[in-house]
Structures are given as C-alpha cells and as structure tokens.
Structure 1
Amino acid sequence: MTDGPFGKRAVQNALRYLIDVARSDNGQARRVANFLLAWWNGDDCGHFPIADLFGVDVTHMTTIIGFLGQHEGAIYPDAFARKAEMIELVHCRRDFNND
C-alpha cells in the first residue's frame, strides 16, 4: 500500500521528519531518537519507554506504527533507504564505549 494515512509515502515523510527531530537540539530529540532506534534495533540500541509518548508530537510516530501494523513481517527503517541516518543517530545518541 503506497497511499493513505499509513501508506509507504506517509511513512517516508514521517520518517524524514522524525529523523530531523532526532538530530535536532529540541526537547523531543532524545525521545524521538529512542523511538527510531528501538524500531531499528531495540536489543542493541535500547527500548522506547511508552511514557515518552507524553513528551512528543505523536502524529508521525502514529503513521509509522499504523504502517507497521498492516504487515505481517518485520519492516525496518532500512526499507526506506534510511540506514545511513540510523547509523548516524546511533553515533549521536548512544555511547557504546562506556558499557
């Protein structure tokens, strides 16, 4: 499904927006990064505390969750050609050298 509120185009736009927010220096950045990195690889990058939804504009996250709910298999940000940005977020938002 390409069109509609939970279609591929909507997810591409939401993902682009959320990556920009996660890269920013605003109050939502850490929470949005947690969401994206938990989706990409929660085991290694950490999980998304559900209470973090209280501190973000959930519109774009809802688009991604709605899209994922329509599919039986796993779909990750890599499917939207965003692997480089996700790696960048890992380096910016996670410090694995202090484990």
Structure 2
Amino acid sequence: MTDSPQRRPVIRAVSFDDVGAAIGRLLEIALPPTRPAETGASSKIADFLLAWWDGLDCGHFPILHLCNVDAIIAEDMLTIMAYLAQQSTVYADAWGYNDAMGELWERYRAPA
C-alpha cells in the first residue's frame, strides 16, 4: 500500500503577498537604475525570473545558481518556487510585474 504524498507546511506557509514581495526584491537587484550597480547575482536572478516567465524562449535556470547567490536571494527564489508548487500556473504579472519582466528580458535577453 502506498501512502499519498502529504503537503508540506513550508509550502503551505507561502502566501501570495510573500511572493509579490520576493519578486520585488529580486527585481530591485536584477534591474538597478544604472548598469554599473548590477551585482554578480543580477544575471542569476534574471535567469531565474526569465526561466519562470518563459523557459523555452528565455533560457533555463541552473539549480546550482541557488548556491551561488547569498542566502537572502536564494530564500526569495525558494519562496517563489514553494508558491508555484501549491498553485496552478501563475506568472509575475499576477503581482503587477509585467512591465518589469519585459524590461528584464530587454536587459538580459534581447538580441544585440
């Protein structure tokens, strides 16, 4: 007899507002007002958000990136992933970030 999988408290604890705040913090790092302010994490955050937005066209997110950003950034990424694990398909525009995602694509993926 196999037991059905149990939902995990850490996944259930993530709210819509938690995810919106996490997206906002990540975008602040990935889209600084001036390019010199970008950090080494900026492109990794862009990889994460754009892979979620449209992985086929925008590229993938190597899981190892979670080890290559600081813990606060990784926690924001995991917050988003935990929410996605409990919801049907939802994207950053659900939190009002459609324009920011377009800007992210322009900065990191648009052809030169």
After TM superposition, the score normalised by the length of structure 1 is: 0.87
Return 5+ residue gaps in structure 1 as ranges: none
Return 5+ residue gaps in structure 2 as ranges: 1-11, 33-37
Which of 14, 17, 29 in structure 1 is aligned with 2:25? 17
Q: Which whole-Å CA distance do the structure 2 matches of 1:20 and 1:59 have between them?
A: 15
Secondary structure, in 3 states, of the residue corresponding to 1:96? coil
Which of 19, 22, 36 in structure 1 is aligned with 2:49? 36
Larger radius of gyration: 2
Aligned residue identity for 1:91: E
Q: Which aligned pairs between 1:60-79 and structure 2 lie closer than 5 A?
A: 60-71=76-87, 73-79=88-94
Q: Which whole-Å CA distance do the structure 1 matches of 2:58 and 2:24 have between them?
A: 19
Q: Which whole-Å CA distance do the structure 2 matches of 1:79 and 1:29 have between them?
A: 22
Residues 1:96 and 2:111 are matched in the alignment: yes
What stretches of structure 1 move > 3 A for 4+ residues in a row?
none
Secondary structure, in 3 states, of the residue corresponding to 2:52? helix
After TM superposition, the score normalised by the length of structure 2 is: 0.77
Q: Which whole-Å CA distance do the structure 2 matches of 1:96 and 1:68 have between them?
A: 29
Contact 1:5 1:63 in 2 (8 A): no
Aligned residue identity for 2:78: T
How many residues end up aligned between the 2 structures? 93
Aligned residue identity for 2:100: E
RMSD: 1.4
Secondary structure, in 3 states, of the residue corresponding to 1:69? helix
Offset of residue 34 of structure 1: 0.3
Aligned residue identity for 2:43: R
Secondary structure, in 3 states, of the residue corresponding to 1:27? coil
Aligned residue identity for 1:34: D
